[in-house]
Amino acid sequence: MREAHPVERAVGIDYYVSGTDGVGGRLRDRPADFRVRERESFDVDLHPEDADTGSYPHLVFRATLRGWDTNDFASALSDALGVSRERVSWAGTKDKHAVTTQLFSVKLETNDLPELDHADVEVLGRAGRPVLFGDLAGNEFEVVVRDAERPANADGIAAELRTFAADGADSEDAEGRVAVPNFFGQQRFGSMRPITHRVGLDVVRGDWESAAVRYVCESSDREPDATREAREEVGETRDWQAALDLLPGRLRYERAIASRLAEGAAEPADYREALERLPTNLQRMFVNAAQSYAFNLMLSERLERGLPFGRPVEGDVVCFADDDGLPDPDRTQVVDAGRVETVARHCERGRAFVTAPLVGTDTEFGDGEPAEIAREVLDDLDIEPSDFSLPGEFDSTGTRRAIRVTTDLELEEEPLTLRFSLPKGSYATVVAREFLKADPDALS
């Protein structure tokens, strides 16, 4: 185990579990260096394209995108169709610096989809409900590392990750699968400007003004100079009408907030309404990022204390596997002293998973040291579960998330390439970071 990069520590990722020096290099030198294909789980009958649009209003399609952020593609598609962006939905959000194959639907009476650059679309049929976020079992990844400085170190890192998968067994005895802590990756918080969780914490604390102003005005030294200067000037003047001239056009979400504030910003409700001008999935993203930050801090503290990740200790909350062998956060159990060994065997066989909370109003902390870790993190952040009782899309009851993710890993040389699959919600960069041990900019 070794200390993480300072930029990662700012989002709660304090450690690498492998101690071997990283291979160096960078990811995403070109979109084709980072390929993602969804393992779809859209368990809905599809009907022919000419099916009755009254009964089956949603046109379902698979898109292979090159250099498209999912939100941007949805916006471009809705603009080309002349429909609300809210009519477009998808199974999972993907990064633009990649080639991604993913599932979408659009509520549309016709079957004709427009041609968009760098997008290959395959219409699959019509359905009675839209594709929903989470309608996938996981993702398959092929990740190329360019300009690796120490590619020979990859085998040693993989051996350490196999040891982590075996919960401390000697790497020579650990077979096959590798594991890493199931951190939320840097992109969850903003790769260039990692503030999404801080906006979310403002929301959870009820400080709507701080949340809206921070999202528009807080700058990062990783942004272009002109963008940084525009944000800082708006932050100093709070002249929201002038902000519409100062902020670059590509900052459309910041401009949407500024546009509402230019209408008048005297009460907390005005700032909340400004945030509500954003798409609903982005509104949810703020609170989700705050939950993710707290989760990362809990995992980092668990590593610091030397607690296991693949088997429970007394007081842990485990969840059980669903029919696909994936963690089911709706089926949980607090592990008491008398059942630690029994539940540990279930974890070894992939029937149960140790979890930590994504905190919300219904959060169950468990007992003992795991509960102590969770409560200390929330105390440090000055939040509590009841704070997540919020209006509209910001409200969250919370859930559980497995604290470790395991996968089969294939390594290929010249160039160094990593092939693996992960369940939905887990981040490829959380695997790749162990190999590169580089500035997160090299991962994004």
In a domain, 37, yes or no: no
What is the per-residue DSSP string for 292-350? HHHHHHHHHHHHHHT--SSS--TT-EEEEE-TTSSEEEEEEEE--GGGHHHHHHHHHTT
Domain-ending residue, one of 257, 278, 299 = 278
pLDDT at position 175 is 59
CATH number of domain containing 254 = 1.10.1510.30
pLDDT at position 134 is 86
In a domain, 187, yes or no: no
CA 433 → CA 289, 325, 385, distances in Å? 20, 26, 31
116-162 pLDDT, tens per residue? 999 999 999 999 999 998 899 899 999 999 999 999 999 999 999 99
222 and 346 fall within a common domain: no
Q: What is the mean pLDDT of the chain?
A: 93
Check pLDDT > 70 for residue 172.
no
Mean pLDDT score, 51-55: 94
In a domain, 102, yes or no: yes
pLDDT at position 192 is 82
11-42 pLDDT, tens per residue? 999 999 999 999 999 998 888 999 999 999 89
12 and 151 fall within a common domain: yes
Domain-ending residue, one of 263, 278, 293 = 278
Give the number of other CB atoms < 10 A from CB of residue 267. Answer: 11
CA distance 32 to 273: 40
CA distance 9 to 15: 8
56-102 pLDDT, tens per residue? 999 999 999 998 989 899 999 999 999 999 999 999 888 888 999 99
7 and 128 fall within a common domain: no
394 and 296 fall within a common domain: yes
Confidence band of 441 (pLDDT split at 50, 70, 90): confident
In a domain, 299, yes or no: yes
Domain-ending residue, one of 278, 311, 335 = 278
Check pLDDT > 80 for residue 168.
no
Instruction: Give exposure, 364-385, as e/b (b: 16+ Cβ within 10 Å).
Output: ebbebbbbebbeebbeebebeb
Structural domain harbouring 113: 42-134
335 and 229 fall within a common domain: no
In a domain, 330, yes or no: yes
Whether 95 sits among the annotated catalytic residues: the reply is yes
301 and 379 fall within a common domain: yes
What is the per-residue DSSP string for 138-193? EEEEEEEEBS-S-TTHHHHHHHHHHHHHTTS--TTT--S-EEEE-PPPGGGT-SSS
331 and 351 fall within a common domain: yes
Strand 327-334 versus strand 317-321 pairing type = antiparallel
In a domain, 387, yes or no: yes
Question: Catalytic one among 33, 95, 202, 316?
Answer: 95
Furthest-apart CA atoms within the chain: distance in Å: 66
* Nearest Cα residue to 143 out of 348, 434, 415: 415
Check pLDDT > 60 for residue 169.
no
CA distance 443 to 429: 7
Cα dihedral sign, 346-159-427-184: positive
- Calculated CA dihedral for residues 415, 421, 422, 424, nearest 10 degrees: 110
CATH number of domain containing 106 = 3.30.70.3160
Q: How much helix, strand and coil, in percent to the nearest 5, is found in the chain? A: 40, 20, 40
254 and 352 fall within a common domain: no
Higher pLDDT, 43 or 294: 294
Check pLDDT > 60 for residue 54.
yes
Predicted structure pTM score: 0.88
* Nearest Cα residue to 136 out of 106, 112, 100, 176: 100
In a domain, 188, yes or no: no
Pinpoint the alpha helices (H) of 358-442.
368-381, 428-436
9 and 82 fall within a common domain: no
26 and 105 fall within a common domain: no
274-315 pLDDT, tens per residue? 999 998 888 999 999 999 999 999 999 999 999 999 999 999
How many separate domains does the chain show? 4
In a domain, 314, yes or no: yes
CA distance 262 to 380: 35
CA distance 200 to 283: 9
288 and 395 fall within a common domain: yes
427-439 pLDDT, tens per residue? 999 999 999 999 9
pLDDT at position 167 is 81
339 and 205 fall within a common domain: no
CA distance 188 to 292: 8
Mean pLDDT score, 194-208: 96
